[in-house]
A and B are shown apart, each in its own frame.
Chain A
């Protein structure tokens, strides 16, 4: 049930871009993205509800390809504050469970 994310970890310099991918072996009906800072709880970034939808939040955006059962998170002109672990999340088969992906650790250095 758990979506798979890639890469597992990435290190960026300030101003560089990154892409985090999330894929599922099961049908995706919606995709959430969360960011977790060290020692803190995950914080909601955005949700994509249908295939082809794209959203943006500051310089962070995401896309959702329902047919390929994939979503990607795009971080543009990264800032130090972007450091953390990013998780995608999706509903289970019945729509009541909620599973998180394997996580991607993002480190932005000066």
Chain B
């Protein structure tokens, strides 16, 4: 099994550009999460989903959007990228008792 797959691994954006971070899991997990981690800091919850068609905001949702059309996919959309969105983004999935993480996307907005 691949587990949780995130793409791309690295990306540089210019201020004002948009992009989508992809996340796919093959474990049939209902719960999926997006976190951002700034250098030397902890993980902040951006958005989460408890199943296809259901999403909700976490601690730091401003500037981001998500969708969950299938159980497997949970893309994160950045509209009008800003330097404050420079971070490492992790997607995770779970069946409640253990989170499995993707390898992360390092995003720089210049």
Contact = CB atoms under 8 A, between A and B. Distances in A.
Interface stretch (A13-21, A52-60, A74-82, A95-103): A95-103
Contacts of A102: 42
B51 to A, nearest CB: 10
B13 to A, nearest CB: 21
Q: Per DSSP, are chain B's interface residues mostly helix, strand or loop, or mixed? A: strand
Contacts of A40: 103
A2 B59 CA distance: 9
Interface residues of B, number: 23
Interface residues of A, number: 20
Contacts, number: 50
A98 B98 contact: no
Nearest to B35: A100
Contacts of B41: 103
Given A97-B48, A100-B35, A44 B99 contact: yes
B98 A41 contact: no
B74 interface: no
Nearest to A46: B98
Contact of A42 (B31, B43, B45, B59): B43
B79 interface: no
Given A47-B97, A47-B98, A98-B99, A1 B43 contact: no
27 contacts: A1-B59, A2-B42, A2-B59, A40-B103, A41-B90, A41-B101, A41-B102, A41-B103, A42-B43, A42-B101, A47-B98, A96-B50, A96-B56, A97-B56, A98-B31, A98-B33, A98-B94, A98-B99, A99-B45, A99-B59, A100-B35, A100-B42, A100-B43, A100-B45, A102-B42, A103-B41, A103-B42
Given A1-B59, A44-B99, A98-B31, 18 more contacts: A2-B42, A32-B98, A32-B99, A34-B99, A41-B104, A42-B90, A42-B99, A47-B97, A47-B98, A87-B42, A96-B48, A98-B33, A98-B99, A99-B59, A100-B42, A100-B43, A102-B42, A103-B42
